[in-house]
Amino acid sequence: MAENKTAAYICKGCEIDKRVDVAGLVKAATKSGKMNLVREHDFLCSAEGVAMIKNDIENEGVTHAALCACSRRAKTEAFNFPTIAMSRGNLREGVIWIRPDTDEARETTQEMAEDYVRMACAEVKAMTVPPGNQKTGSVKTLLVVGGGMSGMTSALESSKAGYKVVLVEKSAALGGWAAKLYKRVPTREPFKAPEDNGVADMVARIDADSNIKVYLNATIAKTDGAPGRFKVDIAIESGSMAQEDVGAIIQATGFTLYDANKLPEFGYGKTPNVVDQAGLEALAKAAAAEGKPICRPSDGQPVKSVVFVQCAGQRDPSGTHLQYCSGFCCNTSIKQATYFKDSNPDIDTVVLFTDLRTPGNGEDFYRAAQNRGVVFSKGVVSQVTPNGNACTVKFKDLILNEDTEAQADLVVLATGMVPVSGVNIDAVAAAPVEAEAAVEGEAPKEVVATIAPESILNLTYRQGPDMPQFKHGFTDSHFICFPYETRRTGIYTAGPVRRPMDILQAQEDATGAAMKAIQAMENAGLGKAAHPRAGDLSFPTVRLEGCTQCKRCTVECPFGAIDEDEKRFPLFNESRCRRCGTCMGACPVRVISFENYSVNTVGAQIKAVDVPDEFSEKPRILILACENDAYPALDMAGMNRHEYDPYVRVIPVRCLGSVNTIWITDALNGGYDGVMLMGCKHGEDYQCHFVKGSELGRYRLSKVGDTLKGMNLETDRVKDLEVAITDMATLPQKINEYAALIKSFPPSPFKGF
């Protein structure tokens, strides 16, 4: 094995050489960093600077390089040297841009810069070059579950990109809900008239596409494996079983309408003249097929008046019904109102709404319907009662602020979307009570019947057969940054199973999911990580001889990437791994690591900082900042020249979930006066890129107080801060406030030890 050769490169550009003594930085890298080779350059990211580094790699045998210049988030294309281990020392955004350019500040600015050089040198020496996951799968076929508009769109777009697709639909035909529509909402200018639903054309394209293999009347019986090497058992109606090897999966299982039977106050089920929007579509299709106008179901007579009730069982703050807006319903009611106006302009057509929402077409479609005589009235319906072959609709007029009523031949309820997302694996299912023989003199015990929801993917993951769900049963995803991703790597969701949306939105969503699935397959074939660390070649390794089989890593992994082998040791499925490091943070004996990120790479940086003695009145504060939100916010604070305390030293971490408490203990034992941790928002509206990482990290950190008390230290010396990427203006102030608090404490009693 070749011996490592280390090199440090100091950039003088962007006025770094005007703000700090570069010779001092070279000395820090040479003496403290103990680097084999140290060079400085006027502009390290220039063609000449990059060529210098490449020459050292090729001709000087450099294997480990510390680049001390700008943030690790900057110049990533220029500083791309995949054959070596590399660290970055942030001298620009992390030092000179957050410090004032004054003579008084020069000393502390120089100290910061020298520490960051030493930290970069220490980090890279603790790293190795990731070889890439060797347990990769190279299958490039995509599985799409669900043959509605979302599923068909994903299949067609993937095929256009040159990939094979297996499309599984549980019914006898493709099309989903869209196939049941008489017309769809217009998707293009001038947004005046409904369009053909477009299903027949898409089905014909799929039938003619040799890249797409379709299973109808079929369900997924079992899904095993990982990205690039999933094995899927498909149960076919005939009773036979087919197996397909696929590289990635898109779940596009759509939605069902909210059960209008739960709305007896609106007359549903009491008269056939109250229908939901799907019921009206069926009436419209039947009428068009027979060349007749839409008729009342009760007596078959043409409808002369119709009332649309918006938000039926939706936007309910009480929680009895759906709490959310389904998004598509207002446009659908406008579309359906035009069905009647197309048949007979004299039909009395009223839409009762609280808020009218028409995404995708502005107000054009609404104005077009209004110009055709559709009446839009702001009102809240309280009751619909049958009245012979008509209905009485009681509502409060929100404009006149009075109770009133209207008569209608037909009432249409705009009920909402309920996602078809499978088993909620996070819910605690009630176990059925077994029937027992009655004891003499006692009443027989009641048998409680429970109906288990039907699994869609039937995953073999230890966490459960389907994907975790977010609010209201929609599949979980990072709604800001990674909307298609789920907590199952290589498995994506698209369409209304992910969030409420109309057909056009669902098709755009399905296209995006297809592109992400293709990216996952390609990365899997190269042994690289998927989102958010796309391209990362590292993967977790474990020293089994030190493992205590505590199971914390298997339980805490947010992505189901760790199982157990036959000896109950952790068994890593690298292709499922997102490289968040949560397992590393969870491990109490520190036997889990990555080649380029480990307990040692961070620990070495902590120890590389020059901690002044107790007489210098220069405290040291460690900041462990999440690389996804907090560290970018710090970078942007620097870009905007927001100043913060010179006594902090920032180390980026992959996720707050990767923080091992030994780092905090080591820092405090090493004389640091305080530790601040910056992670993403967690909870119901989480922003953590690794979903559960910040939550798990904060749970561990909640126990640090006992450690501090045992060390006779103030509990406020360790602070946890939720940081969003948009906090670049306020974050420096919070750092300064925390630094002022630390300065109010006596110096750490561990300085000098």
Domain 1-129 annotated CATH 2.40.50: no
What are 156's two structure tokens? 């067609």
What's the CA gap between 458 and 452, in Å, rounded? Answer: 13
Sequence letter at residue 588:
P
Which segments of 289-347 are extended strands (E)? 305-309
Listed in order, the ranges of the chain carrying CATH 3.50.50.60 are: 141-254+453-525, 257-416
Exposure string over 547-558, b if 16+ CB within 10 A, otherwise e = beeeebbbebbb
- Residue 530: the pLDDT is 85
Residue 92 carries which DSSP code? I
What are 270's two structure tokens? 């009491």
Q: Pick from 255, 158, 261, 275: which is nearest to 206 by CA?
A: 158
CA dihedral 389→345→266→258, nearest 10 degrees, is 120
What's the CA gap between 110 and 72, in Å, rounded? Answer: 20
Q: Pick from 86, 117, 62: which is nearest to 538 by CA?
A: 86
What's the CA gap between 133 and 527, in Å, rounded? Answer: 4
- Residue 123: the pLDDT is 98
**Do 621 and 675 form a contact (C-beta atoms < 8 A)?**
yes
- Residue 443: the pLDDT is 47
What's the CA gap between 751 and 550, in Å, rounded? Answer: 34
What's the CA gap between 26 and 304, in Å, rounded? Answer: 88
| 257-416: CATH architecture | 3-Layer(bba) Sandwich (3.50)
Residue 453 carries which DSSP code? P
Sheet holding 718-722, edge to edge: 648-653, 621-626, 674-679, 718-722
Tell me what percent of the chain is helix, strand and coil, each rounded to the nearest 5.
30, 20, 45
**Structure-token match 């608090």, residue found:** 741
Pairing mode, strands 648-653 and 621-626: parallel
What's the CA gap between 479 and 646, in Å, rounded? Answer: 36
Low-confidence ranges of the chain (pLDDT < 50): 1, 428-441, 443-451
What are 736's two structure tokens? 């300064």
What's the CA gap between 599 and 133, in Å, rounded? Answer: 20
- The three-class DSSP label of residue 399 is coil
- The three-class DSSP label of residue 694 is helix
**Do 382 and 393 form a contact (C-beta atoms < 8 A)?**
no
What's the CA gap between 588 and 548, in Å, rounded? Answer: 9
Residues in the chain: 753
For 627, phi then psi, to 5°, come to: -70, -15
- Residue 2: the pLDDT is 63
- Crossing angle of helices 661-669/599-608, nearest 10°? 20
Q: Measured between alpha carbons, how far is residue 376 from residues 230, 337, 345, 346, 373 in Å?
A: 51, 11, 16, 16, 9
Q: Pick from 609, 694, 605, 602: which is nearest to 653 by CA?
A: 602
What's the CA gap between 307 and 214, in Å, rounded? Answer: 41
Pairing mode, strands 375-387 and 390-397: antiparallel
Helix (H) or strand (E) holding 26: helix 22-27
**Structure-token match 């669902």, residue found:** 506
**pTM higher than 0.75, yes or no?**
yes
Pairing mode, strands 562-564 and 570-572: antiparallel
CA dihedral 284→289→290→296, nearest 10 degrees, is -10
Quickly name the fold that domain 611-753 has. Rossmann fold (3.40.50)
CA-angle at 330, arms to 261 and 196, nearest 5°: 100
Q: Pick from 728, 557, 735, 559: which is nearest to 629 by CA?
A: 728
Residue pLDDT, tens place only, 160-200: 999 999 999 999 999 999 999 999 999 999 999 999 999 99
Which CATH number fits the domain 141-254+453-525, given the four candidates 3.10.105.10, 3.10.110.10, 3.50.50.60, 1.10.10.60? 3.50.50.60
What are 377's two structure tokens? 């009235």
Q: Pick from 668, 673, 671, 664: which is nearest to 704 by CA?
A: 664
Q: How many CB atoms lie within 10 A of CB 480?
A: 13
What's the CA gap between 4 and 619, in Å, rounded? Answer: 35
Q: How many CB atoms lie within 10 A of CB 364?
A: 15
Listed in order, the ranges of the chain carrying CATH 3.40.50 are: 1-129, 611-753
What's the CA gap between 751 and 620, in Å, rounded? Answer: 10
CA 563 to chain CA mean position, Å: 23
List Cβ<8 Å contacts ≥24 apart for 318-322: 321/258, 321/262, 321/263, 322/258, 322/416, 322/418, 322/472
CA-angle at 358, arms to 356 and 363, nearest 5°: 95
Concatenate the DSSP letters of all residues of 671-683 into one string: T-SEEEEEE---S
- Residue 447: the pLDDT is 42
- Residue 483: the pLDDT is 84
What are 654's two structure tokens? 């992959």
Concatenate the DSSP letters of all residues of 401-433 into one string: TEEEEEEESEEEE---EEE-----TTS-PPPPP
